[in-house]
Amino acid sequence: MSETAQSENTGSKPKAQSKYDYSKGPLPLNINMSWCKACNICIALCPQQVFEPDRDGKPIQARAENCTQCTICWVHCPDLAITSNYK
């Protein structure tokens, strides 16, 4: 896993491996793992199935390349834990 991947996922214990190709830019979203409460809302509502839960139930961007920046995950995150990396 590259440097970027490590810093994107700070806080989550064992990292589910994302096969994301970082030469295409950073991950689509920044997830604040210390604010996330693993409620599963973003994982279930994402129409592109971008997320997979890690061992704590927090979202990992397992299919990051599918993200269309549709806003659904961050407007529904009750803990304001998700922001876009493409402002």
Partner 1 sequence: MTTATKPKQKSDVFHQYLRPKKKFPNVWCPGCGIGIVMGAFIRAIDKLGLSKDEVVLVSGIGCSSRFPVYLDFNSLHTTHGRALPFATGVKFSRPDLKVIVITGDGDALAIGGNHFIHACRRNIDITAILINNHIYGMTGGQGSPTTPSEAFSTTTPYGNVEKHFEPCDLAAAAGASYVARGTVYHAVQLEKAITQAIENRGFSLVEAISNCHTYFGRLNRKGDGLAMIQSFKDRAVPVARAGKMSEEELEDKLVIGKLHTTGATEFCDEYQKVIDAHKEK
Smallest gap from residue 53 Cβ to partner 1 (A): 12
Site string (3-42) toward partner 1, x via CB under 8 A? ---------------------xx-xxx----xxxxxxxx-
Number of CB atoms found within 10 A of residue 37's CB: 13
Which DSSP string do the residues of 61-86 spell out, in sequence order? -TTGGG----SHHHHH-TT--EEES-
Give whichever of 18 and 58 is closer to ligand SF4, judged by the CB atom: 58
**Chain residues that interact with ligand SF4, rule: CB under 6 A:** 28-29, 31, 36-42, 46, 48, 50, 58-59, 67-73, 77, 79, 81-82
CA 13 to chain centre: 14
